[in-house]
Amino acid sequence: MNKKLITVAVATAMAIPMVANAGAKAKAYGGMHVAFQMVEVGDADATYDIDGSSRKGSKVGLKGSTDTNLMDFKAVYQIELGLNQGGNGAVYQRDSWAGLSSKSKGTIRGGTIGTPWKSNSKLVDPLFTTALEGRGGVVGGASSRLAGGTAPDRGRSTHAVRYDSPSFSGVKVSANYAFIQGTEDAMGLGVTYKAKGMAGFFNYASTGEDKAAMKIGGKAKFGDIGVSGAYEIDQGAIGNAKDSEKNSLYVAGTYGMGATTLIVNFSMVAESASDAKDDSTGFGFAVSQKIAKKVSVYGGYGMSSGGDNYTEMSALAIGMKAGF
């Protein structure tokens, strides 16, 4: 366990209430996500675990803004630490950055920042951060490389700068650029449209020489029914290889009944560069119950199967998310 990082985490946690009380524009936030999971991979015996891992987004943080004398810009910042359930790396860095924000000119930030690709992956996935999410894993259907992980060319980009434009009639443009020593720098572009009850987006990402990917998707709500999905086209960035063509489709549906939400998702992945031997399909279903303003419990099942080189997987998950 990194004792220095633990010390920083403790100091940050102690400082949050004082900073939050000192400035009206500072806000402390956080949450814990813990789940019981039963996972089967291929012919191996099922594994059982009470998991509060980094993938599930347990975190604590502080964010805020300060007025400046630079036109209409405000100084903005965020410090966020992720929490693992015991073991090495129990505390680690998540999105932590500083920058300037203007309603008329947009926001520019530098540090460790989620990319536009990751932001839009979360937008269409109602089971994001769970064992049943579309971001790789059991159900699959979306890039876990570009929508997750922490590195200059991953979903949470380090050594990075990101710009988000103001909204023009519901349309926003976002761009990120990360500096990777010794190789081509990583970059991304996103165009997102949001209106009442619907959203649509296009993303482009490049993670090095001859490695790129594109994604198009969106979501819409019709009364109690919600639908969402995305299609990804790989040109090396998703499979992290120049000859990779790991194209995929992910769709999800929700039905709300008061505090209860029924969720289903489905995926298809085509490994064109390997003669379709790794092609796969997956599906999942879950029930989520909101029991307080920022507290919910859920349970669900997911599985995937595929071609000759694909290892079948399935998972049962029962979890709880609590935030502040």
Give the Cβ contact number of residue 165 at 10 Å: 15
Residues in Cβ contact with 205 at an 8 Å cutoff, skipping those fewer than 6 apart? 115, 117, 146, 186, 187, 188, 189, 212, 213, 214, 215, 237
Reported as a single tens digit per residue, the pLDDT across 91-140 is 888 999 999 999 999 999 999 999 999 999 999 999 999 999 998 878 98
Instruction: Give residue 308's pLDDT.
Output: 74
169-183, 237-251, 262-276, 296-310: the lowest-pLDDT one: 262-276
Instruction: Give residue 277's pLDDT.
Output: 55
* Residue 305, pLDDT above cutoff 50: yes
State both tokens at 197: 């009850």
Instruction: Give residue 146's pLDDT.
Output: 93
Reported as a single tens digit per residue, the pLDDT across 24-76 is 489 999 999 999 999 999 888 888 888 766 567 789 999 999 999 999 999 99
Q: What values do phi and psi take at 227, rounded to 5?
A: -130, 145
Q: How many CA atoms lie within 13 A of 162 on its CB side?
A: 26
Terminal CA-CA length for the chain? 27
Q: What sign does the CA torsion over 107, 108, 110, 112 have?
A: positive
Residue range 166-187: average pLDDT? Answer: 88
Residue range 77-96: average pLDDT? Answer: 83
Tell me what the pLDDT averaged over the chain comes to. 87
Q: Note whether 98 and 111 are within 8 A (CB).
A: yes
Domain borders along the chain are 3-323
Instruction: Give residue 240's pLDDT.
Output: 78
* Residue 273, pLDDT above cutoff 70: no
* Residue 12, pLDDT above cutoff 80: no
Alpha-carbon gap, residue 131 to 62, rounded angstroms: 27
Q: What values do phi and psi take at 238, rounded to 5?
A: -75, -45
- Residue with token string 């998310």: 321
pTM summary value: 0.85
Alpha-carbon gap, residue 288 to 303, rounded angstroms: 18
Of all residues in the chain, the percent with pLDDT exceeding 90 is 62
Length of the chain: 324
* Residue 6, pLDDT above cutoff 70: no
Q: Note whether 275 and 268 are within 8 A (CB).
A: no
- Residue with token string 């946690």: 13
Residue range 247-262: average pLDDT? Answer: 96
Q: What sign does the CA torsion over 85, 83, 46, 126 have?
A: positive
Instruction: Give residue 19's pLDDT.
Output: 47
Instruction: Give residue 280's pLDDT.
Output: 86
Alpha-carbon gap, residue 228 to 225, rounded angstroms: 10
Reported as a single tens digit per residue, the pLDDT across 187-244 is 999 999 999 999 999 999 998 878 899 999 999 999 999 999 999 999 888 877 776 7
3-state SS, residue 147: helix
Candidates 181, 242, 169, 228; CA nearest to 200 is 228
Give the Cβ contact number of residue 164 at 10 Å: 20
- Residue with token string 């307080």: 292
Distance, CA of 159 to chain centre = 18
Q: How many CA atoms lie within 13 A of 224 on its CB side?
A: 8
State which fold the 3-323 domain adopts.
Porin (2.40.160)
- Residue with token string 């969720």: 263
